[in-house]
A and B are shown apart, each in its own frame.
Chain A
Amino acid sequence: MSQSNPTAASQSLSERIFGAAGSNRRSIIIAYFFVLVLIAVGGALAPGFVAPQSLLQQLVLASILGVLCIGQMIVILTGNIDLSVAWTMNLCSVIVTSVTRGENQRVTEAIALSLLVGAGIGLFNGLGVAYLRLPSMVMTLGVNAMLQGVTLVVTGAQPKGNAPEVVRWLIVGRIGPIPVSVFLWAILSIITIFILSRTVFGRSLYAGGNNQIAAYLSGLRMQRNLVLAFVICGLCNALGGILLCGYGGQSYLSMGVPYQLPAIAAVVVGGTSILGGSGSYVGVIAGSIILVLLQNVLSLARVKYAGQLIIYGLAILFMLFIYGRQAADRD
């Protein structure tokens, strides 16, 4: 690395992880601050809240959301959105339970097929958005509805079978003191952060999200990368579905629906701009944790579900305002 020139692009470690944009770093710090605030509030309401076991349990839930957010964030970075989370999760979960019928025997094939289907859904979305230039919101909405139909038809509206032990293990099992899914999430997070900050693919996502035309004229492979982004999202949705299957012990209809909104919310609460082009997965990790903690704190405070929904929405708006308009609007 060239040291002789003071204008060399020597980036500090924090710049490398958080991205060079100053506003990004601020958002991330704010997000983690609120994680701490929520833990403190929860601890004040019930000391057991901050017990390691309890926190790890919440991390398990956060890991399911977090995995979904990997894909969603990548798509949002490009200036698009994926609204097919709910039924991709459902269908992929159904694939696992149907193929294995609760036994461990064919679990590898089941998981592989499930992930393949997820990737295939992502590919379909990506082709439509990248090559046919269909608006991603409408495209993924339509695909979501189609997947709902497919799931209903395939299961006859009565999904059978339980989650095989291996899948259950993903949620209840441990590696050392850490739940497997959290461990998995950690690994995937590191990979994601690496991809976004250190690879050509990652750089081109940010470039395209900011200025498609300039990125295109620089020779970046815009369309191929966009398809790849949606494929990754499809994979993440599938994985999220598998994890959720492990969590609930079975597949059931509409299991993925409660995750659609939080997947997007966590990305935005984590400091990523909904318009694309800026954000860091480090912040999204905090975003996922915040949403899970928030829900648990509200339950702890005996807030009715109705109240939880209201506060949920207010919290999202609150974070948007705190991040400043840069999070949601570009001048």
Chain B
Amino acid sequence: MKPESAPKKKLNVARYFRPLLAYIVLILLILVYRALSPVVFRLPVITAMLNQGMALAITSMAQTLVILTAGIDLSIGSIVTLSNCVAATQMQPGIAPTLGVVLLVLLVGSACGFLNGLLVAYGRLAPIIVTLATSSIFNGLALYVLPNPGGFVPEWYSEALTGRIFDIVPTALLILIFLFVFIWTPLKRSPLGQSIYAVGSSESSARMSGLNVQRTKLLTYTIAGTLSSMAALFLAAQTASGDATQGGVYTLNSIAATVIGGTSFTGGVGGFGGTLAGAYVFAIIPNVLFAARVSPFMKELLQGAILVLTISLGAARVFQVKNRLEIMK
């Protein structure tokens, strides 16, 4: 018994509103930072800021993809940890072996994601509990690979990723551009990408239209795993070590970044455009706090508050709704 009145057009505005808002908040934050600390626009500081948010940005892309299918991946942090530990234990000073390790790490991440995908798509188990269980498995594997924090990461590797090309362009910036232009955009415009959006929007309609829902989900989680291991490769460069105890941070923060960026938790709406802003909002909060001489303990408080506030914005629609059934699942 659907209401016979035509659906409202509010959705169109909302689709661009949230990502835009995320960028506005990001810009505001940077301005505040600038006001507190004049060095903000100096190259080393910009490089450091870009680096700071990179791992989160990459893992957030992974999480965004999964959330777009109306799923969730609580094992992303563990995949990062596992990949990081593998990198730190396998890397060698030479270039060729290191590149080999890079491939190995990507493989590890993809395998983790593939396992998640198999269980969700073909095992037909709910993503939240599957990825909760696999996060424990991956954490365990990480500890097994690297029982104590440490390991080795070649210096040239760290420098290359966290430094600047020709001392002007931060590598991180190039990586971000690469991510956006050569990974995200092609993916979004590919049949797989459209399938991801379709599955999240309405799984049954996607199936009726002939899309292979299972395969789409399998690929989504696998790619999420690959991206997570990419994030780990950058993390290894940043920390020049591995740490098996670091786990959960990226999981939860990637969810936050995705949601702040305007991707809908119920799937089908959103994208990396907004998520990127969300990730950096989250990542530079500690910097801003430091510059404002606010206790670093406020970091989580502020991050949590921003997350709750952001999703509450969407709640404004709830009060405008005229048919209360629409707000029920």
A and B touch in their complex, CB below 8 angstroms: yes
- Interface of A with B (CB < 8 Å)? 79, 81, 128, 131-135, 137-139, 141-150, 152-153, 156-157, 212-213, 216, 222, 261, 264-265, 268, 274-275, 304-314, 316-317, 320-321, 325, 328-329
- Complex Cα distance, B126 from A274, in Å, reads 7
- Complex Cα distance, B303 from A128, in Å, reads 17
A residues in contact with B328, CB < 8 Å: 212-213, 216, 222
In the complex, the answer to whether A328 meets B136 with C-beta atoms within 8 Å is: no
Further pairs besides A149-B300, A317-B130: 18, Cβ < 8 Å? A135-B266, A137-B265, A141-B304, A143-B308, A145-B303, A146-B305, A149-B297, A149-B302, A216-B328, A261-B132, A261-B136, A264-B132, A268-B129, A304-B143, A305-B140, A309-B137, A313-B138, A316-B136
- Complex Cα distance, B128 from A222, in Å, reads 24
The residue from B252, B304, B308, B329 contacting A212, defined by CB atoms under 8 A apart: B329
B47 touches A (CB below 8 Å): no
B116 to chain A, nearest CB (A): 11
B255 touches A (CB below 8 Å): yes
A169 to chain B, nearest CB (A): 32
Q: Which of the listed residues B119, B125, B129, B328 has the most CB atoms from chain A within 10 Å of its own CB?
A: B129
- Complex Cα distance, B327 from A216, in Å, reads 11
- Complex Cα distance, B194 from A284, in Å, reads 40
A residues in contact with B128, CB < 8 Å: 81, 137, 274
The residue from B134, B301, B312, B318 contacting A146, defined by CB atoms under 8 A apart: B301
A residues in contact with B329, CB < 8 Å: 79, 212
- Interface of B with A (CB < 8 Å)? 72, 119, 123-126, 128-130, 132-144, 147, 252, 255-256, 259, 265-266, 295, 297-305, 307-308, 311-312, 314-315, 318, 324-325, 327-329
- Complex Cα distance, B134 from A265, in Å, reads 12
- 6 A-B interface contacts by CB (under 8 A): A132-B318, A145-B303, A153-B297, A306-B147, A309-B139, A316-B136
B167 to chain A, nearest CB (A): 37
The list of the 6 closest CB pairs from A to B, nearest first, reads A149-B301, A145-B304, A309-B140, A313-B136, A146-B304, A310-B140
In the complex, the answer to whether A141 meets B119 with C-beta atoms within 8 Å is: no
The residue from A213, A310, A328 contacting B125, defined by CB atoms under 8 A apart: A328
In the complex, the answer to whether A135 meets B315 with C-beta atoms within 8 Å is: no
The residue from A152, A264, A274 contacting B297, defined by CB atoms under 8 A apart: A152
A residues in contact with B139, CB < 8 Å: 309
Q: Which of the listed residues A145, A149, A261, A264 has the most CB atoms from chain B within 10 Å of its own CB?
A: A145
- Complex Cα distance, B325 from A180, in Å, reads 47
Q: Which chain B residue shows the least CB distance to A216?
A: B328
A276 to chain B, nearest CB (A): 10
Q: Which chain B residue shows the least CB distance to A310?
A: B140
- Complex Cα distance, B75 from A302, in Å, reads 26
The residue from B265, B298, B305 contacting A135, defined by CB atoms under 8 A apart: B265
A123 to chain B, nearest CB (A): 14
A129 to chain B, nearest CB (A): 10
- Complex Cα distance, B125 from A151, in Å, reads 36
Q: Which chain A residue shows the least CB distance to B321?
A: A133
A residues in contact with B143, CB < 8 Å: 304-306, 309
In the complex, the answer to whether B119 meets A317 with C-beta atoms within 8 Å is: yes
In the complex, the answer to whether A142 meets B311 with C-beta atoms within 8 Å is: yes
The residue from B126, B140, B304, B314 contacting A312, defined by CB atoms under 8 A apart: B140
In the complex, the answer to whether A149 meets B265 with C-beta atoms within 8 Å is: no
B111 to chain A, nearest CB (A): 15
B119 to chain A, nearest CB (A): 7
In the complex, the answer to whether B255 meets A137 with C-beta atoms within 8 Å is: yes
In the complex, the answer to whether A134 meets B256 with C-beta atoms within 8 Å is: no
In the complex, the answer to whether B125 meets A138 with C-beta atoms within 8 Å is: no
A230 to chain B, nearest CB (A): 14
**Given known A-B contacts A128-B312, A133-B315, A274-B126, A145 and B300 have beta carbons under 8 A apart:** yes
B residues in contact with A146, CB < 8 Å: 300-301, 304-305, 308
B residues in contact with A264, CB < 8 Å: 129, 132
Q: Which chain A residue shows the least CB distance to B119?
A: A317
**Given known A-B contacts A141-B252, A313-B133, A321 and B123 have beta carbons under 8 A apart:** yes
- Complex Cα distance, B31 from A294, in Å, reads 52
Q: Which chain B residue shows the least CB distance to A155?
A: B297
Q: Which chain A residue shows the least CB distance to B248?
A: A257
A residues in contact with B138, CB < 8 Å: 313
B residues in contact with A139, CB < 8 Å: 308, 311
B residues in contact with A144, CB < 8 Å: 304
- Complex Cα distance, B312 from A317, in Å, reads 34
The residue from B124, B134, B295, B308 contacting A325, defined by CB atoms under 8 A apart: B124
- Complex Cα distance, B299 from A325, in Å, reads 41
The residue from A138, A149, A308 contacting B140, defined by CB atoms under 8 A apart: A308
- Complex Cα distance, B126 from A325, in Å, reads 9
The residue from A141, A265, A306 contacting B132, defined by CB atoms under 8 A apart: A265
Q: Which of the listed residues A268, A313, A314 has the most CB atoms from chain B within 10 Å of its own CB?
A: A313
A residues in contact with B140, CB < 8 Å: 305-313
In the complex, the answer to whether B307 meets A309 with C-beta atoms within 8 Å is: no
B residues in contact with A309, CB < 8 Å: 136-137, 139-140, 143
A25 to chain B, nearest CB (A): 21
In the complex, the answer to whether A328 meets B126 with C-beta atoms within 8 Å is: yes
**Given known A-B contacts A132-B318, A133-B315, A274-B126, A142 and B133 have beta carbons under 8 A apart:** no
In the complex, the answer to whether A157 meets B129 with C-beta atoms within 8 Å is: no
In the complex, the answer to whether B300 meets A148 with C-beta atoms within 8 Å is: yes
Q: Which chain A residue shows the least CB distance to B318?
A: A133
- Complex Cα distance, B138 from A308, in Å, reads 11
A300 to chain B, nearest CB (A): 18
In the complex, the answer to whether A153 meets B298 with C-beta atoms within 8 Å is: yes
In the complex, the answer to whether B299 meets A149 with C-beta atoms within 8 Å is: yes
- Complex Cα distance, B35 from A125, in Å, reads 35
- Complex Cα distance, B143 from A213, in Å, reads 46
- Complex Cα distance, B128 from A44, in Å, reads 35
B residues in contact with A321, CB < 8 Å: 123, 125
In the complex, the answer to whether B327 meets A145 with C-beta atoms within 8 Å is: no
